[in-house]
Chains A and B, each alone.
Chain A
């Protein structure tokens, strides 16, 4: 996956876990907590979706890497670089 594709994958997860949100306008450098009022239960969902969709394990100590879209892409791209954005 390219950086753009990783971003797209995260956007698709966010769209699923928050059906009432407009995910097209997410700003990369603002925290997701701030933009979407995500709480710890929502971050758990992001982590579980990453496991379910891409078989990627995010250990609890790395949850802070998911704080914004930019940091998500930065953190996930190396883990997802050999995967296809399929399914």
Chain B
């Protein structure tokens, strides 16, 4: 039994690649290590609640009929109708710093107006930056030199607070590097968050993932859960077989791996020593706490869909020297989206930068205590800026970089993968390809487009020479 393509990982990129290939009658198998699909954007069920992980909101929102947008392309390529995704837009979000606040919606005009009012001196430079961003081809699959977004921004804007405020959401929602961003990634994030915007699907990740899995299976795609890849075996630079943890061997003409670039290279036999260097792995990870509330967040003074905040003068996006950095974070209120029906329960999610190394070094007993302690510290700092909601909490849970590693296999729990992206998806092994977060498209829509592009580029568009 030989497959045309085996895909490693059933996150959005793997499922999307699977749908594309199955659509054109390829014999496809997706293998997933976990017992639940979704990877970095998944869900879990606890005490009758289905809770999203990863997804705060979908970026890249575009209305129905906007065909030449990332979302429009994704829908067409997977042959979904816009209505199938059941998306509802955000109400309003904001970036809140000690003395300044910038509000934004899915209408880019508001952000421009806010910059004009809050930073009148910087408006001219900001508009020139926007023009540069608009004309930039961020989706090119050719790899270019790393370009510092900080350097480019400082050419246009001299106010460091405005620069930090613009970086804050873009880094929190997709930056694998500490302190700075590659400019093309900055452009992807700027467009997807500020120019396109946020929406959420009714039913969350659970709904979207089921939609994708159903489509994949109805096209004849095969999905095996709880199956871990032990090694990716090649000879003379050509992939030959996969060995699973139980010893089973699987054969295919090609493999698309979404497990992460270094994570993939680590499993290659013979070893790809230079490529598998773990010092190149991403370091950026998060702690997230979620609070189910007995009341609507709005009744407690939380009116925004998403708030990116920093309680100190300067925003630092780096691995913290403590278990977490409480001085900045993201607050998400899933209730504050324009849903036709209110959600069954109030919910607030709080995300802070976290250090994988420090969490990983804790003994089990201390780990549980530390989660509680740092959740409390994060809340206490938050409540110096925002209303206290502790009296309304009916359920809470937290996860750390260790949890992310456990369920996704991404080294260091690095949710945005390695800073070194493989834009064209190729590897030293001729028929082994990378998709997903390490290919370089970001966010939910980006991850999905990554799977689509890699399946198109490397499998469907290929003039396939018959295998000997």
Give residues in A with beta carbon < 8 Å to B: 16-20, 36-37, 39, 41-42, 44-45, 48, 52
Contact = CB atoms under 8 A, between A and B. Distances in A.
A36 B67 CA distance: 8
Interface residues of B, number: 20
Nearest to B64: A20
A37 B79 contact: no
A17 B456 contact: no
Contact of A37 (B25, B67, B452): B67
Contacts of B73: 39, 41
Interface string B65-97: 101100011011101111010000000000000
29 contacts: A16-B79, A17-B76, A17-B79, A18-B67, A18-B76, A19-B75, A19-B76, A19-B79, A19-B80, A19-B81, A20-B64, A20-B67, A20-B75, A20-B81, A20-B82, A37-B68, A39-B68, A39-B73, A41-B73, A41-B452, A41-B456, A42-B76, A44-B456, A44-B460, A45-B77, A48-B24, A48-B460, A52-B24, A52-B25
Interface string B371-391: 000000000000000000000
A79 B250 CA distance: 39
Given A17-B76, A41-B73, 16 more contacts: A16-B79, A17-B79, A19-B75, A19-B80, A20-B64, A20-B75, A20-B81, A20-B82, A36-B67, A37-B67, A41-B77, A41-B452, A41-B456, A44-B461, A45-B77, A52-B24
Interface in B268-310: none
A16 B76 CA distance: 9
Contacts of B460: 44, 48
A45 B77 CA distance: 8
Closest 5 CB pairs of A and B: A37-B67, A19-B81, A37-B68, A48-B24, A20-B81
Contacts of A36: 67
B389 to A, nearest CB: 40
Q: Is the interface of A mostly helix, strand, loop or mixed?
A: helix
Contacts of A42: 76
Contacts of B72: 37
Nearest to A21: B67
B5 to A, nearest CB: 15
Contacts of B75: 19-20
Contacts of B77: 41, 45
B461 to A, nearest CB: 6
A33 B25 CA distance: 26
Contacts of A44: 456, 460-461
Contacts of B65: 20
A37 B69 CA distance: 10
Contacts of A41: 73, 76-77, 452, 456
A42 B67 CA distance: 11
A39 B25 CA distance: 22
